[in-house]
Homo-oligomer: A and B are copies of this chain.
Amino acid sequence: MYELIRSIKTAVIMSKTPIPKPTESELEILQVLWQHGPSTVRFTNDQLSQKREVGYTTTLKLLQLMLDKGLVLREDDSKTHVYRAAVREEETQGLLLDRFVDATFGGSAGKLVMQALGNHPTSADELAQIRSLLNQIEQQRNNTSNAKGQTDEPA
């Protein structure tokens, strides 16, 4: 019965919100769901509790709010509900990255990259990956030097 009301409310209210921005706590939960797939409240809470102390009902409430926001989906066949992420990992990270670059680095992604590489230990493997991406970008830029516009499409 509870569920029915909630479902209706959710369906009506949330119809067309573009992309909700998760808070930090919500992000923590999304990390769990991305990493482990669909999870129960209990499991999610256990995962979170490994890093810091969190009450069970806190995690539950968060997941319910995230359901309202459309950040997660839910399957409630049995007594125990199962939640799964409704937003993709990279897409969400990209959204947050945009905001962060604007707010903190005045929109300059280059500055951010410099800082990130300078201050954080990065594996040789990742460095190689970055270098490869760099090549790809510059090559693409040369190819389209007099084409109509340079897209910043990565692939």
Contacts and interface: CB of A to CB of B under 8 A. Distances in A.
Nearest to A131: B134
> Which size class do A's interface residues fall under?
35 or more
Q: Is chain A's binding surface mostly helix, strand, loop or mixed?
A: helix
Given A134-B131, A134-B134, A141-B124, A115 B103 contact: no
A83 to B, nearest CB: 19
A96 B97 CA distance: 12
Given A109-B116, A113-B130, A103 B137 contact: no
Given A122-B110, A123-B110, A127-B138, A90 B116 contact: no
A31 interface: yes
Interface string A109-122: 11111111111111
Given A114-B129, A118-B152, A93 B97 contact: no
Given A27-B103, A114-B154, A124-B141, A119 B131 contact: no
A112 to B, nearest CB: 6
A145 to B, nearest CB: 11
The 3 closest A-B pairs by CB, nearest first: A110-B126, A109-B120, A118-B154
6 contacts: A97-B119, A100-B104, A113-B117, A119-B152, A121-B152, A124-B141
